[in-house]
């Protein structure tokens, strides 16, 4: 799959380092690794604002859609329309739906059909994939 924003591995690593990204952000975003539950810096952030892709700045979620799913990762009931692509993921002996940034292809996490709102969706994202911006 191709994305509007393309960079080499070296460019992604340099970009993430310049942003002070969380340890492991490169492996999470570019190689679909997963941070351990309850370890990400945004899992317990409840401030007003928005969540953006750490790699390209694409706005992904509004804080009003964030909820505590108890899964150990920041969870959202709705993504910003057009901000995410969903890809069938059959790794780890199960069928899931991987979410990636629609602009740069960064791995974000997975979406599950058991959310608490009318959308019935639970987007479980890696904190290392996100950049939070306070609403001012």
DSSP tag of 80 = P
pLDDT score of 131: 97
Model confidence over 80-126: pLDDT tens digits?
999 999 998 888 787 889 999 999 999 999 998 887 777 778 899 99
pLDDT score of 113: 82
Q: Which residues does the annotation mark as catalytic?
A: 124
Q: Report whether pLDDT(8) > 80.
A: yes
What per-residue string of b and e applies to 57-80 under the rule 16 or more CB within 10 Å gives b?
Answer: ebebbbbebbeebeeebbbbbbbb
pLDDT score of 85: 96
Nearest-angstrom CA–CA distance, 96 and 90: 6
pTM, rounded to two decimals: 0.92
Specify the CATH architecture of the domain 9-134: Beta Complex (2.170)
Q: How confident is the model at residue 136 (pLDDT cuts 50, 70, 90)?
A: low
Which residues share a beta bridge with 67? 75
Question: What is the three-class DSSP state of 118?
Answer: coil
Model confidence over 48-57: pLDDT tens digits?
999 999 999 9
């Amino acid at each position: 799959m191709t994305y509007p924003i393309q960079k080499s591995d070296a460019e992604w690593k340099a970009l993430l380092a310049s942003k002070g990204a969380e340890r492991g952000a490169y492996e999470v975003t570019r190689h679909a690794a997963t941070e351990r539950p309850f370890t990400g810096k945004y899992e317990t952030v409840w401030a007003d604002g928005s969540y953006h892709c750490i790699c390209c700045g694409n706005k992904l979620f509004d804080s009003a859609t964030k909820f505590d799913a108890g899964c150990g990762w920041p969870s959202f009931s709705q993504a910003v329309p057009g901000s995410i692509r969903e890809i069938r993921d059959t790794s780890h002996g199960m069928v899931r739906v991987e979410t990636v940034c629609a602009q740069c292809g960064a791995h974000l996490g997975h979406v599950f059909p058991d959310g608490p709102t009318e959308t019935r969706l639970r987007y479980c994202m890696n904190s290392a994939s996100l950049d939070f911006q306070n609403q001012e």
